[in-house]
């Protein structure tokens, strides 16, 4: 996509399919350059307003999504939108919840569930997917 993310941009991950998704922490300032056209925000309370389309997934810090069916739907939506839009996924710090969501998205994109956490740690951040229950959530995630 000509107007998508720069592949080497901060937090940008190239999925196995070639699609790009940006992960970030909301505590950090928004990076320069283009803004997302869609954001998935993983927080325990509603996120601050943004100037682009967004979806809030209730997900308390260091925990799991409050509604797992809604989470799976949000991950599928994020993957689908990444084919034609600049999409980002973010939580407060950009590691645990964001990494867990990215791991579920890469499962949807074809990475085996048993390999998804390692894949995200290699391609996004070595600190992604912070807790044992987040790792277990990923390994049990099914499309």
Q: Token match 């867990």: residue?
A: 100
- The domains located in the chain, with CATH, are 12-140 (3.90.190.10)
Q: pLDDT at residue 122 above 90?
A: yes
Rounded Cα distance, 44 and 42, in Å: 7
Tell me the pLDDT of the chain averaged across its residues: 95
Judge contact between 20 and 37, C-beta under 8 A. Answer: no
Q: pLDDT at residue 127 above 60?
A: yes
Model pLDDT, residue 30? 86
pTM given for the model: 0.95
Q: What is the DSSP letter of 124?
A: T
Residues 72-89 pLDDT 10s: 999 999 999 999 999 999
Q: Output the CA torsion 61→133→38→67 (10° steps).
A: -90
The DSSP annotation for 76-103 comes to HHHHHHTTTS-EEEEESSSSHHHHHHHH
Q: pLDDT at residue 2 above 80?
A: no
Q: pLDDT at residue 143 above 80?
A: no
Contacts of 7 (CB under 8 A, 6+ apart): 14, 20
Quick one: which of 93, 92, 119 has its CA closest to 108? 119
Element (H, E) at 20: strand 20-25
CA angle 96, 99, 104 (to 5 degrees): 125
């Amino acid at each position: 996509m000509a107007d998508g993310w720069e592949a080497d941009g901060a937090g940008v991950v190239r999925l196995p399919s070639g699609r790009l998704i940006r992960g970030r922490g909301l505590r950090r300032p928004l990076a320069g350059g283009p803004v997302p056209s869609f954001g998935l925000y993983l927080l325990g309370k509603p996120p601050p307003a943004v100037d682009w389309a967004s979806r809030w997934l209730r997900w308390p810090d260091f925990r799991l999504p409050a509604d797992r069916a809604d989470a799976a739907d949000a991950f599928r939506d994020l993957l689908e939108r990444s084919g034609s839009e600049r999409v980002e996924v973010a939580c407060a710090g950009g590691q645990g919840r964001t990494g867990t969501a990215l791991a579920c998205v890469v499962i949807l994109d074809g990475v085996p569930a048993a390999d998804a956490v390692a894949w995200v740690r290699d391609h996004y951040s070595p600190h992604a997917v912070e807790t044992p229950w987040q790792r277990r959530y990923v390994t049990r995630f099914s499309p």
